[in-house]
Amino acid sequence: MVNLEALHELPPAVGSAPTDGAFSLLWLVIALPALGAAVLLLGGKRTDKWGHLLATAAVIGSFVISLILFFSLTGRDSGDRQVTQHLWNWFTTGSYSVNFDLLYDQLSAVFLLLITGVGSLIHVYSIGYMEHDVRRRRFFGYLNLFVAAMLVLILAADYVGVFLGWEGVGLASYLLIGFWQHKPSAAAAAKKAFVINRVGDIGLSLGTALIFITFGSTSFAVVSAGSHEASSGALTGIGLLLLLAACGKSAQFPLQSWLLDAMEGPTPVSALIHAATMVTAGVYLIVRSNFIFSLTEDARTAVIIIGCITLLMGAVIGCAKDDIKKALAGSTMSQIGYMVLAAGLGPAGYAFAIFHLLTHGFFKANMFLGAGSVMHGMNDDVNMRNYGALRKAMPITFATFGIGYLAILGVPPFAGFWSKDKIIETAFADNFLVGLCALVGAGVTAFYMTRLMLLTYFGEKRWEKDVHPHESPKVMTYPLIALAVLSAFGGLFTLNSWISDWLAPVVGEHGEHELGIPAIVMSLIILVVVALGVAVAVQLVGKREVPKVAPEKVSVFTRAARADLYGDAFNDEVIVKPGVAGIRGLAVFDRSVVDGGVEGLATALSAISGRFRLLQNGFVRSYALALLAGATIVIFALLAVNFG
């Protein structure tokens, strides 16, 4: 008997309405950027002149199709909003068959708009940002490759398809982090990101394997229909493996250390891949697998714990960084921690996780691009101690960044207020401790973001010599303005709880959560905490002289935060060193035991044959004797057999 109570909270199985009308265009959303990448990367130097325009046009084309699809979807009944497009049978072995199907439902629709929309803006921005780079064509080729892979990830209707996109975005991320490969630090960062992501990928592949063992299929439709009957042990196992995958891709504890180094890539890459889209793939995976996570309390608890740890860790790291991009990267970690936390809250939180993902995509892309604009004006300097008083030199960048700042702080009515408040409220409704973590995180966020704002845009000029900050060209500021508008009004999505209702058919209905106090009081408490964070930052950073060189005499906490809370040191001590020692031991074993055995055998054989070789003495008569002896033995043997 199926547990009726659980069934009530769960969405219906993923349906498969046929594709017709506009929905038959679905494959084109992926095909356009994929084609762009192919033309740019295979076309060589011939495409140098117009390649970046083609790439941008491809992504904008995808965006337009996504808009058409979205409005076609809203035109349908809410029960009829899941469309599956069957492209081809990918492979079949025995009873296991994987189809290359695309699933377009409410969740993928939101992602599609975010990826192609923010992706288009960042492509446009990159036209200006990468104008003087000799390898610009390649950059745009990689960007298109990334967009195509990301779209495969979110449109696939099967865990194997998700895996394809998952690996694809990992590859694109690797290529783009190491885009300035002449810098050893960039090459090392790319390698680090790739290797750490590999750990997460193992989680996804093992999770997919376990799903196949449990359900006999890996398609969302079959798994969501059968998840009630699966044993709780299997579900928890799958949940934990998928969580490992999410940790790798979304830079969650304990696989977080690659994200800060990933800032070696060009800034548009940091904005698109390492803030707005790719790093949120882990959140997508958890929400997409809601039919598994909703049924396994244990795995969800693990998700919540990981989310809490990461949101605090990221925020603390963000406080101590002088590199503007690394401070923002710490913030990204922390915000994704919020999303993972919300996703771990189960049906109550899925929609808010996605909502925060959306608004974070807007304001974080906005701020990263703003940081890129600042760097553009400051001769690619990233050290905030060399900034200061930039609000007059770069008014548009300042204004748009400021909106992003208000959004991430959660000041009403900007986008972050709506999404972050919901998460904190839901967290408090679930567990007081979890809520407290989220609340403290909000305060720390306010501190480090205010510090970043003060160091960059206010205070005294601390510019290096020969630096003449100037506003960026229009091709860069227009995307900033567009993103700032989205950061300001992104909260409208939650009007009338639209986003929750919209996603309900995918992630399940959930009534109002039980909060002891009215929502307005909760919001006020959060605002007070945020204001406190801002006040502390103003007191500690704004009212003091900012030294050019980071002070050495700092508390042990600051030192820890500067060292990324010893994430690298931890990995080095716990994983790298024992690993290296183990490999050395294996090498010794290989040389002495394996090689020794094989070589010893060979030496023994050659020694024995050296003895036997002496029989070939060259004397014909001794050969004749051997012949005779042999013949005699054969004859006697025959006689013995026949007459014995």
Partner 1 sequence: MSTTPFIILSAILFTIGAVGVLTRRNALVVFMCVELMLNASNLALITFSRANGNLDGQIAAFFVMVVAAAEVVVGLAIIMTIFRTRRSASVDDASLLKY
In the complex, the residues that contact partner 1 under the rule CB under 8 A are 613-614, 616-621, 624-625, 628
Closest CB 640 distance from partner 1, rounded Å:
20
Integer Cα distance of 142 and 162 in angstroms:
19
Q: Which of 349, 355, 353 is nearest to 294 (CA)?
A: 349
Vertex 118 angle, CA 115 and 123, to 5°: 105
**Minimum distance of partner 1 from residue 644's CB (angstroms):** 22
CB 243 within 8 A of CB 302: yes
Per residue in 207-237, is it b (16+ CB within 10 Å) or e — as a string?
bbebbbebbebbbbbbbbbebbebeeebbbb
Round to whole Å and give the CA distance between 19 and 259: 39
Q: Which is nearer to partner 1, 53 or 626 (CB)?
A: 626
Task: Report the distance separating Cα 232 and Cα 295, nearest Å.
Answer: 8
Choose among 173, 153, 145, 180: nearest CA to 41: 145
**CA pair distance 194, 249, nearest whole angstrom:** 10
Q: How far is CA 441 from the centre of its chain?
A: 21
Instruction: Rank residues 132 and 611 by Cβ distance to partner 1 and give the closer one.
Output: 611
What is the nearest approach in angstroms of partner 1 to the Cβ of residue 629?
10
Q: By C-beta, is 555 or 617 nearer to partner 1?
A: 617
Closest distance of CB 612 from partner 1, Å: 10
Q: Which of 224, 249, 254 is nearest to 238 (CA)?
A: 224
For partner 1, the closer of residues 588 and 629 by Cβ is 629
CB of 642 to partner 1, least distance (A): 17
In this structure, the dihedral spanned by the alpha carbons of residues 628, 633, 635 and 640, taken in order and rounded to 10 degrees, is 160
Shortest Å distance, C-beta 191 to partner 1: 56
> Closest approach of Cβ 630 to partner 1, in Å?
13
What is the smallest separation between the CB atom of 617 and partner 1, expressed in angstroms? 5
> Would you say 467 or 625 has its CB closer to partner 1?
625
Backbone phi and psi for residue 433, each to the nearest 5 degrees, phi listed first? -65, -45
The residue whose two tokens read 């265009």 is: 25
396 backbone φψ class: left, alpha, beta (φ>0; ψ -120 to 50): alpha
Place of tokens 């909502």: 355
If the CB atoms of residues 2 and 607 are measured against partner 1, the closer one turns out to be: 607
Give me the least distance between CB of 624 and partner 1, in Å please. 5
User: In terms of CB distance, is 50 or 623 closer to partner 1?
Assistant: 623
- Please, which residue, 612 or 643, has the CB nearer to partner 1? 612
Quote the longest CA-to-CA distance of the chain.
118
Which residues in 26-65 belong to E strands, given as ranges?
Answer: none
**Cα separations in angstroms, 184 against 177, 190, 263, 317, 567:** 12, 10, 14, 24, 21
CA distance 563 to 566: 5
Whole-number minimum distance, CB 627 to partner 1, in Å? 9
Residue 461 or 613: the one with the smaller Cβ distance to partner 1 is: 613
Shortest Å distance, C-beta 632 to partner 1: 10
**Which is nearer to partner 1, 586 or 628 (by Cβ)?**
628
- Whether the Cβ atoms of residue 228 and residue 215 lie closer than 8 Å to each other: no
Q: Whose Cβ is closer to partner 1: residue 563's or residue 634's?
A: 634
Say how far apart CA 51 and CA 143 lie, in whole Å: 12
